[in-house]
Structure 1
Amino acid sequence: MAHYTRILLLADPSLQRTPALDAAARMAKAAGARLHINVFDASDTIAAMKWMQPDLAQPAMDAYTEVRRAWAVTEAQVLQAQGIDAVGDAAWARPAIDEMLEQIGELKPDLVIKDVHHEPALRRIFLTPLDWQLLRQCPAQLLLVNSAAAVPPRRVLAAIDPVRGGPGGHDFNRKIVQDALGFAIQCDAELHLVTAFDAAVLTGFGAAEAGAVVTTELFETLRDSHRQVFDEVADAYGVPAGRRHFLYGPPAAAIAEFAGQHHTDVIAVGASSRHGVERFLLGSTAESLCENAPCNLLAIKPEGFAAAGA
């Protein structure tokens, strides 16, 4: 079971107090973890000085970074006064992802937290290119906190895929539930487990073809097999029947709709690059779920992700 000792906040470059900062402070206090508040930012204008006024560029970069370091240190001091072990720092980061991943590799945090924008009109979060890079490459658990998240999470929904192939796939399902459970415990939240059964996808037929080809017997066989694996994982982690949700239809759409209708605060999803190609292990299902999530996202990587250098 995960117990956080180091949490890294990728603080918003706007230098404002945000939902992610509040979430990071709550998590650090609840877990007794050290919170690292780090700002990764750069100025295109100052960066251009390297070519036009190289003698002035470095002092300008240092001054720009120092303003951000001072803000992070001040925020850390505010949290220290509340009994939270917090430190602040900043780095000139251009591109930001390189410095972030280097810091994550050195610090080895148990949890990385970052703000994402919530789009009220679409009722979902809006992911930037940097968010996608972190989802695909960050080796630690990554919590993306949307701008509408004003309260501590009370319901965590772990999404698993019972038909994920091979022993490694089954191990990954269990790791998703294990990590989501550890997260829920430290938030004092309920853990719910969800999966979605889509016969058309499982048989390789399109929706129209599946209706004609998939017999009742085949449908029931596939569904029962899917449900058996789902229940085995739920049993292994003591998830009660009332918190197991077996849905029907395209997984991403079904799970996102369920999360929105049932006041879900966090969706935990498994994500990993594979063979050097920047794609989720769950492919389009996981990407679509992340794109359409109505709440916070907790991205979980498989064992050995960092060692694999994916």
Structure 2
Amino acid sequence: MELHQLLVVIDPTSGDSQPSLERAAWLAKRSNSAIELLLCEYNSALDGGYFFDGPAQKKARDSLLQNRTKWLEKLAQPLRDNGITVTTEARWGKPLHTMILQRISELKPDMVLRDATTHNLLQRLFFNNTSWQLIRQCPVPLWLVREGEWKGERICAAVDPVHSADTEALLDHKLVKSTLYLAQTLDMQADYMHSYAPLPRTMVFDSELVAAYDQYAERSAKQHRDAFEKLMVNYPVEKANRHLLEGFPEEVIPSFVEERGVDLLVMGAISRSNLENALIGNTAERVLEAVQTDLLVIKPTRPQP
């Protein structure tokens, strides 16, 4: 990972309070990155010709985007005064995630930052929430920013080296390398954790399996311990900063984040398209609901055509 260009998605409904912009400014100063502020606007009253004819409708849209651009320039000026290179882009269209992905394809930023929003299961099921869509589809690292005090002191990577969809742990190596880079560039203390959850004893009813449960649990622990050690062996990480924890990720990770005072949690997300994922969501999505800290979601590197 290297940071040269950041793309910040601005929420036009939040006024001058833009947590993702504040985080991007902090990040840009430490990484010497440029920033683009992207605002996507859409209003059904200016689409479809209900109240305006074609030319008047276009004029109203253009006027709205001009006002939005002036506002973006106002947001950008303090950053420019602080020595950060900032550009602005205001566009008309929907849905929001499609507009963002289109700009990512054009600008090719190294990272996208957006305010985090948490929504309920029904909204995820019908795919009408931008954050969930970006977690699944954003091709570059996605930094979801929480509101609240930002200390910028501790970063933690949550890895899963036994994931069946990542048999060579390529994504986990990417997570570790990215965390090492960010920790050094941003002067943050880094931890690396892996959590696993063996089948609970209470779910084993066969008498022969009950008798063998302890051996199963021991083998499971050894499998995860060996995989975690194999992943980390060639990285300059002290053992005190490696953490193997037993428990479901959506329970263990938020607890660890809170106890250690983690400011930025780094996780991987492997896209799926089946119904189970639509209903339940992947681990990154479930953890996002539970943690009260910033989340950096990193996808696997796409193979070259």
- TM-score class, shorter: 0.7 to 0.9
- Matched residue, 1:145: 145
Aligned to 1:235: 233
Instruction: Give RMSD over aligned pairs.
Output: 2.7
In the other structure, the counterpart of 1:198 is 197
Residues 281-308 of structure 1 show CA distances to partners (whole Å, capped at 9, x for unaligned) of x964333112212211100010107x69
Moved more, 162-171 or 186-195: 162-171
Q: 1:277: how far off?
A: 7.5
Task: Tell me whether 110-119 or 56-65 shows the greater mean CA deviation.
Answer: 110-119
Q: 1:102 to 1:207 in 2, by over 3 A?
A: farther
Q: Residue 251 of structure 1 aligns to which amino acid in structure 2?
A: P
CA distance in 2, matches of 1:277, 1:208: 25
Normalized against structure 2, the TM-score is what? 0.86
Structure 2 residue 41 is matched with structure 1 residue 41? yes
Q: CA deviation at 1:13?
A: 1.2
| Contact 1:73–1:89 (CA under 8 A) maintained in structure 2 | no
Count how many residue pairs are aligned between Structure 1 and Structure 2. 292
The one-character-per-residue Cα deviations of 1:191-225 (angstroms, maximum 9, x if unpaired) are 1111112111xxxx785218936532222122112
Which residue type is aligned with residue 250 of structure 2?
A: A
Is this contact kept in 2: 1:118–1:147, CA < 8 A? no
- Aligned partner of residue 114 in structure 1, secondary structure: strand
1:12-55 C-alpha deviation (Å, 9 max, x unpaired): 2134132211110111111111111111122232235x244233
Q: What does 1:127-276 correspond to in 2, within 5 Å?
A: 129-148=129-148, 150-165=149-164, 168-200=167-199, 207-209=202-204, 212=210, 214-274=212-272
- Does structure 1 conserve the Cα–Cα contact (< 8 Å) formed by 2:132 and 2:285? no
The one-letter code matched in structure 1 to 2:270 is S
Structure 1 counterpart of 2:52? 53
Secondary structure of the equivalent of 1:267?
Answer: strand
| Residue type at the aligned position of 2:193 | V
In the alignment, what sits opposite 1:13?
Answer: 12
Deviation at 1:3, TM superposition (A): 1.8
Decide whether the 8 Å contact of 2:269 with 2:282 is kept in 1. Answer: no
Residues 185 and 41 of structure 1, relative CA distance in 2, 3 Å threshold: farther
Secondary structure of the 2:105 match is helix
Relative to structure 1, the CA distance from residue 230 to residue 20 in structure 2 (aligned partners, 3 Å threshold; closer, same or farther) is: same
SS in 1 for 2:74: helix
List gaps (5 residues or longer) in structure 2.
Answer: 120-126
Displacement of 1:77: 2.3
Distance 1:63 1:267, change over 3 A: same
Identify the range of structure 1 (211-220 vs 181-190) with the bigger mean alpha-carbon deviation: 211-220
TM-score using structure 1 length: 0.85
C-alpha deviation, 1:271, in angstroms: 0.9
Q: CA deviation at 1:233?
A: 1.8
| Secondary structure in 1 matching 2:266 | strand
Give aligned-pair identity as a percent: 27
Deviations 1:141-168 (A, max 9, x none): 00000012x2242111111112112665
CA distance in 2, matches of 1:278, 1:155: 33
2:291 is the alignment partner of 1:293: yes
Query: What amino acid is aligned across from residue 87 of structure 2 in structure 1?
Result: V
SS in 1 for 2:267: strand
Contact 2:284 2:297 in 1 (8 A): no
Q: State whether residues 152 and 187 of structure 1, in contact with CA within 8 Å, keep that contact through their aligned partners in structure 2.
A: no
Deviations 1:241-287 (A, max 9, x none): 1111111111221111111222111111111323587949x964333
Task: Quote the Cα distance in structure 2 between the aligned partners of 1:16 and 1:264.
Answer: 27
Residues 35, 87 of structure 2: 8 Å contact kept: yes
Indicate the SS of the match to 2:116. strand
Query: Which residue identity is paired with 1:165?
Result: S
Moved more, 230-239 or 209-218: 209-218
The aligned residue for residue 123 of structure 2 is none
Matches of 2:167 and 2:214 in 1, distance apart?
31
Secondary structure class of the residue paired with 1:236: coil
| 1:69 is the counterpart of 2:69 | yes
1:138 and 1:70 map into 2 onto residues whose CA distance is 28
Three-state SS of the structure 1 residue aligned to 2:29 is helix
SS at match of 2:16: coil
